[in-house]
Amino acid sequence: MIKVTLITVTLNSEKFLEDAIKSVMAQDYKNIEHIIIDGKSTDGTLAIIEKYKDHVAQWVSEKDYSMYDAINKGMKMATGDIIGTLNSDDMLAAPDVISRIVENFETKKVDAVYGDLVYVDPDNTAQVLRKWKGGEYSIKKFHYGWMPAHPTFYFRRKLLETCGYYETHFFSAADYEFMTRYLYYHKVSAAYVPRLIVKMRQGGMSNSSIARRLRANRRDYLAMKKNRVPMPLIVSVLKPMIKLHQYTNIGLARFFT
């Protein structure tokens, strides 16, 4: 039976972490290894981890350099055949999410899968603010700035040997660089799971201000250039623009503020 490792990174995550853990516990697929990497939290995060320790395979609490440094730690601890991440303030969208992911790995004989994601109001997770549909996979989509929703991206652990870990010097663009390196540069086989995988609370490192969005765009450009995406300067401009259709109730202005 295929084993799935889920990595959750935490830092002062007491407000929402319990929801994330419970969404993993609710899965009907039981061969799940849930690893939590905590960045030395000072709030009630560790008490929550301790409360659910029987449902967490491994956890550590120590200083790290960034979220992606912490994910790298988790991937080095992982023993699953497949690896995915679940942010501490996110939730798996339904009890059969992992079952469907494993099914797609088995039936489509691919090395990576991804699906759909919705951004929800932090305090009212029934209110959807933005919808991110992954769409059918084509490597040519990277020429237009496309990327899968990172929290829905799962891959075979064996790929770490050839494709590598997150490169933390890309900061908030490290997830984009990671997926571009795997799917575009290394041409890892991938399939789209046409279903909602994750409910993600609204917020993010790269989109919280215009200055941060510009820094993120430059890092996207560097990631594209490194992985030989054609015309990286133009594509880095297109990348945020092709996401505008995802917004539903919050207005386009929220994308830039």
Q: What is the DSSP string of the chain?
A: ---EEEEEEESS-TTTHHHHHHHHHT-S---EEEEEEE----SSHHHHHHHTGGG-SEEEE---SSHHHHHHHHHHH--SSEEEE--TTEEESSTTHHHHHHHHHHHHT-SEEEEEEEEE-SS-TTSEEEEE---S--GGGGGGT----GGG-EEEGGGHHHH----GGGGGGHHHHHHHIIIIIS---EEEEEEEEEEEES--SSSSSHHHHHHHHHHHHHHHHHTT-SSHHHHHHHHHHTTGGGB-SS-GGGGG-
Cβ contacts of 162 within 8 Å, gap of 6 or more: 186
pLDDT-derived band at 157 (thresholds 50, 70, 90) equals very high
- What is the pLDDT averaged over residues 6-29? 98
C-alpha span between 253 and 257 (Å, rounded): 7
Please tell me the predicted confidence (pLDDT) of residue 246. 72
pLDDT-derived band at 242 (thresholds 50, 70, 90) equals confident
Domains detected in the chain: 4-256 (3.90.550.10)
Please tell me the predicted confidence (pLDDT) of residue 249. 47
Residue, of 180 and 206, whose pLDDT is higher: 180
- What is the pLDDT averaged over residues 30-39? 98
User: Where is average pLDDT lowest: 2-6, 44-48, 247-251?
Assistant: 247-251
- What is the pLDDT averaged over residues 87-94? 98
pLDDT-derived band at 179 (thresholds 50, 70, 90) equals very high
- pTM attached to this predicted model: 0.92
Please tell me the predicted confidence (pLDDT) of residue 151. 98
Cβ count near 169 (within 10 Å): 13
User: Where is average pLDDT lowest: 24-28, 80-84, 241-245?
Assistant: 241-245
Torsions phi, psi of 65, nearest 5?
-85, -25
Please tell me the predicted confidence (pLDDT) of residue 217. 86
User: Where is average pLDDT lowest: 135-139, 158-162, 190-194, 203-207?
Assistant: 203-207
Please tell me the predicted confidence (pLDDT) of residue 253. 37
